[in-house]
Amino acid sequence: MNKKQLFYKAIIWQIIGLLWISILSYVWFGSWLRSLSFSLVVVIVSIFAYILYELAWNKIIKNKRKKL
C-alpha cells in the first residue's frame, strides 16, 4: 500500500469514527456544536496518529523480512 492509498484509507476510517464520536459526545455534552467541534479535533489527531502507526508497522515488518 502506498502512502497516498494509506492516507485515503485513514480518511475513510476517520469519517466512520467521526460519526460514532459525534453521537457519543453529543450524549456527553448535550450540544451538537460542542460535539462536532470535539469530534473534529479528535478525528484530525487520529488521522495522523493512524498514519504514523501504519508507517511504523510497515517499517517493523520490512526490517523483520530483511533479517530472514
CA-based radius of gyration for the chain: 16
pLDDT value at residue 51: 87
* pLDDT for the residue numbered 11: 82
Q: If we measure between CA atoms, which residue out of 48, 57, 60 comes closest to residue 10?
A: 48
Q: How confident is the model at residue 2 (pLDDT cuts 50, 70, 90)?
A: confident
Question: What is the spatial distance between Cα 56 and Cα 33, in angstroms, rounded to a whole number?
Answer: 35
Residue 23 has pLDDT above 90, yes or no: yes
34-61: string of b/e by CB count within 10 Å (b at 16+)?
ebbebbeebbeebbeebeeebeeeeeee
